[in-house]
Structures are given as structure tokens and as C-alpha cells.
Amino acid sequence: MTDDLRVTERPNEATVDVDLLSPLEVVRLINSEDRKVAEAVGRSDEAIARAVTGIMGSFGRGGRLIYVGAGTSGRLGVLDASECPPTFSTPESQVLGIIAGGDHALRHASEGAEDDAGSGSTALDAVAILPEDTVCGVTASGRTPYVQGALRHARDLGCFTILVTCNPGAELLGDADCVIAPVVGPEVIAGSTRLKAGTATKLVLNALTTASLTLSGKVYSNLMVDLRPGSYKLVERARWILTYLLGVSRERAGELFEASGRNVKVALVMGKRCLDRGTAERLLARCGGFLRKALSEPGA
């Protein structure tokens, strides 16, 4: 009876009669299903790596990563994109999240918006899509018309395209250059893809941007050296990084931080190589923003 249903829609045999359990039993059951998610994403590591390579290629050509999705999938794309500027000091336009129904759909269900394929392509035109961009369609079911319209339009323009789905039999598989399809199995509540599918999607998107931007020079070792210090917490993190890497006092770290124009990378080059701000900035620019290279480059 369920053979024709997508994986994300099928009833989960492990959670039959979940409505008869105690609160503790329900929580434990949800947790036992969630433990399967990371392993499913891990089995998609090669596809994720191919996607990262494509995204880095776009960045290298001055292009962007554009997520397109609806409902939970769309919200996760917007969330991932919104975290890139404070974490990596990316321009607001370098990683974008587009959701069917627009910003209203971030807080309110707009289910019907996902059925309009034409709106997907129109949304890409609204952000002036270019062949250098990467477009990542995010849809747990793998059949959302809005996402399909966007992916097909992007491919027609010559963009690198990615599909993130939790359905290995997704109808949109042929519309993407790279398919990432972690199979997490049926949901605790049949069809509720905000659960395991949503968690898997979050993990995949985390990996796409973190790996792409780390390998683009936004991270030194495992430290957030390109953060945007827009809050007290981030300013304190910047000072701690300087203290840790330079082996200086907190006061000296603060002095370097301010003298650098509140730029952790510049401050590190200034402190490590005893340079003034302008020279440190030029050295970093010559090294393409890669701190490791700037710290080891001969001369100044």
C-alpha cells in the first residue's frame, strides 16, 4: 500500500502507536530516530565534497551560492545564508537564501507558494542570477515545483546546480549537476519532514558553507579569524583569538584589534610580523586573504 509513497511520506514501523506512549517514551523514540541522521549524511560525503568544489569555483569567479527552497527547506537555506556574514565576514550577497512566498513565509506557512514553478525562476531573476553563481535547490521530497523551476532556469543559464533532498527517487534528480540525497528513512510522524529530513538538511547546508568558506581562506586552523565583530560576544571572541594565537595579554590584544580597524586577520599579521596596519592589509591582499600564507610569505 505504501510502495508508491516517497520515503519521507511512508509510515515509520518503529513509531507505530506513538500516540499511546508516555512523554519519556516519545522523547526517547524521537531521539533514537534522530541518531540515524548523521550516519545518513555521512554516506553522502562524496556528493557533498563535489558540491563544495563547485561552490568554491563559483566564489573564485566572483559568483554566489544561492539556496532556493520552500517551507522548512527554504527556511533552513535562509538560516544558513544569514549566518555567513557574522561568521565569515562574507558580503551579504555572497550566500543568499530564497524561500517560496518571500520573507512572509519565514514566520508563516505559505504552502501554496511552493507549487508555482514559474515563481522559482522569477525569484532568481530578481537577484540578478549570473552563470558564475551556484544554485542549490533544497527540497526534502525532491519534487517541489518552485525548486524545479529555479534549478532548470539556473541550468539553462549555465550555473552549477545542486539538489539537496532526502528522497533517493526524487523527481528533480535530473535537474541538478550534483545531487546530495541522505536517506534518513520515514519520519517519526509520517510526512513531517521538519524532523529527520530537516535535521539532515541542516547538517548538509552547514557542511556546504563551512567547508567552502574555510577552504576559501576564511578560517585559520579551526578559528574564526574572519568574523564580523558586530556584537559584544563576537568582539570578545576576536580578542580571545588574538590572545591565543599571539600569546599576548588581553590588553595588548585589544590594542592590536583596535589598531587593525577591528579586523582579526590584519591584527594577527600586525602582531606576528610587527607591521603597521597598511602594510599588513596589503600583504593579506597579495595573499588572497589567506592568513596562513600571509604569515609565512617572505618579506612584507
Whether 258 is catalytic: no
Same domain assignment for residues 117 and 242: no
pLDDT at residue number 106: 87
Catalytic site residue from 9, 33, 46, 114? 114
pLDDT at residue number 30: 94
pLDDT at residue number 146: 95
pLDDT at residue number 133: 98
Whether 9 is catalytic: no
Element (DSSP H or E) covering residue 74: helix 71-88
Over residues 12-43, the pLDDT tens digits come to 888 888 889 999 999 999 999 999 999 999 99
Same domain assignment for residues 166 and 263: no
User: 69 in a domain, yes or no?
Assistant: yes
Same domain assignment for residues 21 and 145: yes
Segments forming the whole domain that contains residue 263: 232-296
Distance (Å, whole) CA 67 – CA 74: 8
Catalytic site residue from 83, 171, 255, 297? 83
Q: Are strands 95-99 and 160-164 parallel, antiparallel or unpaired?
A: unpaired
pLDDT at residue number 2: 42
User: 52 in a domain, yes or no?
Assistant: yes
pLDDT at residue number 22: 95
Q: Assign residue 159 the CATH number of its domain.
A: 3.40.50.10490
Q: What average pLDDT values come out for the chain (300 residues) when binned by 10 residues?
A: 62 86 94 95 97 97 97 95 95 96 85 82 96 97 93 97 92 91 91 91 98 96 94 95 96 96 97 96 95 85
Same domain assignment for residues 180 and 247: no
Inter-residue long-range contacts of 33-38, CB under 8 Å, 24+ positions, other chains counted? 33/185, 33/187, 33/188, 33/195, 33/196, 34/195, 34/196, 34/199, 36/184, 36/185, 36/196, 37/182, 37/184, 37/196, 37/199, 37/200, 37/203, 38/203
Same domain assignment for residues 53 and 200: yes
Q: What is the model's pTM?
A: 0.91
The CA-atom distances, in angstroms, between 53 and each of 119, 157, 188 are: 28, 19, 34
Same domain assignment for residues 161 and 72: yes
Residue type, 37: V
Same domain assignment for residues 153 and 283: no
pLDDT at residue number 14: 84
Q: Assign residue 262 the CATH number of its domain.
A: 1.10.8.1080
pLDDT at residue number 48: 98
